[in-house]
Structure 1
């Protein structure tokens, strides 16, 4: 289910009612994400920051984003709040690795709704909208799932549909908007070894062929052994019959 919108960012809102207005806000939420992500990286690198100060700063930043979007109307505000939810979940995931005491950003803003399952529900709502979904918001959710949950199977299952929305390949051939993720977003990082362990139909056929060849070879060896034993027995029987003065015919 999709959580209903609230005046303050206590829960990520439902899908915007006006698709055109939400699309206009798309690049805006992506710019907000970039600014937030830069601040998050800087916060994670601070070794001497007092416990709780990082969370307070990030909470204030996300709350300010939501408050600033109020004047843009309900649809734009709802889009920003949903983006803020994804950013908060990403922040908690990152802070849990380096500053566990500060990994409370999503909980402070969204309360009991701050769960990974809620993040998946919001992503599923965008995927269901397909080509009508807000691309900027889809890019934020794609980034949050890819950066914060790279090894989660449920997150991985949602990244590809979100990527198609971001690149304009969902339901049409529309070109990607400027500033959004490019089709190269899923290219492997520099230095990565590609193809070495990629599943291949050719490898399966080679394996099947090898097993068949091995089976034929073993069968031939067993048959040759059995035939040789039979011929040896026949020669012995013939010698025994001829020694008895009888003729051998067959």
Structure 2
């Protein structure tokens, strides 16, 4: 095992990125010319894809893949549900209750079930049911709602309250910029927020500027193995920036 994992180019890996999982099973891509994109796949088929084929990366065990799936769900790369396999509706959305879907929040590794688990691309998820804003009263269909600033009118059956002014009427931002310092644990907790922003951005991508400083200087071998190679495995295109 030491020869396979530590000497020269690794032949067996103890980790796998969500991007590699998507690439391996071609999630979101047509499997053959003329076919529709693959929008969902059983977790058991993902497991089989890694241990049936000898193409790299080869994984130490199924637990490695379980961690990669949990990470991908937390980052918002794909969604996870378990139980019976959801059907794909004519609108290209899976017919599954949103409260049964996990995406953009922490998923424990032991929650990943290779027998009943199912992965889905985020674009194939049904829209979440809208929740009324705090301070508003749901208005039954067909009942006219007064415009902003208009006084409530009495209707048959009781008063209809004007909606509370809030974020719905606020100006929409075209650009969102975030800058913060964070520890390792805080970075993991920030992943869902960044993934949500990417999901709503053009090309489903955000630009991330990361700067780390070391008074002793970063060891080049460590930098390559611990930082640059994981980024390469995730197929992340890096933009050249000033370095010192």
Shared fold (TM-score, shorter chain, > 0.5):
no
Greater strand fraction, Structure 1 or Structure 2: 2
TM-score norm. by structure 2 comes to 0.30
Greater helix fraction, Structure 1 or Structure 2: 1
State the structure with more CA Rg. Answer: 1
TM-score norm. by structure 1 comes to 0.29
